[in-house]
Amino acid sequence: MTIREFIHRMPKAELHLHIEGSFEPELMFKIANRNGIKLPYRDIDTLKRAYNFNNLQEFLDIYYAGAGVLITEQDFYDLTWAYLQKIHQQNVVHTEIFFDPQTHTERGIAFDTVINGIYNALLDGQKKLGISFVLIMSFLRHLDETSAFKTLQSVLKHKDKIKAVGLDSSEVGNPPSKFKKVFDAARQEGFLTVAHAGEEGPAAYVYEALDLLKVSRIDHGNRSLEDAELVDRLVALQMPLTVCPLSNYKLKVVEDMRTHPLKKMLQLGMKATVNSDDPAYFGGYMNENFMIVTESLDLSKEDLIQLSKNAFEASFINNDLKQKYLSQLDTFQKRNLL
């Protein structure tokens, strides 16, 4: 079996995916047309040519503009359904997706419209495609804590649908400490917590995410490697890192895929996972992310199994389902590797 087939067939879990970042240009134009919104790009090719980023902020500006055409519950449903169909073709059996409510409520879309559209698609994905899911509500860190508190308030009546809260958007200058109180409140309401940290921001932000936000996973975490003490702590905790290789390349977090830190993380015993972040903008879903790191870092099939195992172990699903997936992965390994 070729390595490409091995990656394709391996059962996988995705733990770091922004649903707004799965908005493919074709669907974006279709939804914009149906809502009578004119995108500032002549056609799909012109839009795709704009996907050339020098840093996180340049990407975020385009990502928020794209999300601006989502108006109705059906729009959010279609967006989510398209993503689920895509990952179904790639043997992703479980996904934990972020949505950014403030991106939509700030432009007058009701919180309920957003969550109902996304959630109904996830339920259909579970029923029709067999994909299990966890939904994570993410606060935008470029906005203030008051806005985050308001968002937390709106989610309380949907508590049954959401497992965790996260923190994303412009990292540098917006440290985790800015959101300590709202994360305290979220944990008191029973939510787990995660946070983007150490993507562009320093290792100090990873410490803050651990110590102040009490996260169960670090999203990205690349820059943790700059601090040996932090690495030791992350290894001792077996703190999962949701690493996003193609994203790191496209946002120039790494200059060259051959110097991507993923292999080093595995060698150090860190609990790293592979994820797609914003696949429509960065040129690939799960399989493409696995493929690029395998080729660039010369990963072995054992490494790939380890990465997939890490993801199932780090997922927020109940223990029975976790064991079921881990045993599927074990069977896959025995048939194709041992």
Which residues of the shown chain bind Zn ion in the complex (CB under 5 A)? Answer: 277
Q: Among ligand ADE, Zn ion, none, what binds residue 75 when CB lies within 5 to 8 Å by partner kind?
A: none
Of the candidates 18, 94, 104, 260, which one interacts with ligand ADE according to CB under 6 A? Answer: 18
Residue 199 a catalytic site member: yes
Which of 14, 24, 75, 199 contacts ligand ADE by CB under 6 A? Answer: 199
Q: What is the rounded distance in angstroms from the CA atom of residue 281 to the CA atom of residue 52?
A: 9
Minimal CA–CA distance to 12: which of 295, 293, 312?
A: 312
Note the residue count of the chain: 338
Q: Which residue type sits at 60? A: L
Distances (CA, A) of 58 to 66, 139, 169, 249, 252: 13, 19, 11, 14, 11
**Contact of 167 with 199, CB cutoff 8 Å:** no
Closest CB to ligand ADE belongs to which residue? 168
Q: Is 278 in the site for ligand ADE (CB under 6 A)?
A: yes
Residue given tokens 């179904």 in the structure block: 88
Least distance to ligand ADE, CB of residue 223, Å = 13
Site for ligand ADE in 239-258 (CB under 6 A): 247
Q: Does the protein bind ligand ADE through residue 193 (CB under 6 A)?
A: no
Considering the rule CB under 6 A, would residue 169 count as an interface residue with ligand ADE? yes
Which residues are CB-contacts of 60 (< 8 A; sequence separation ≥ 6)?
A: 169, 170
Give the shortest CB-278-to-ligand ADE separation in angstroms.
5
CB of 298 to Zn ion, least distance (A): 26
Q: Which does 169 bind (CB under 5 to 8 A by kind): ligand ADE, Zn ion, none?
A: ligand ADE
The nearest distance, CB 60 to ligand ADE, in angstroms, is: 6
Count other C-beta atoms under 10 Å from residue 302's C-beta.
11
Catalytic residues: 199
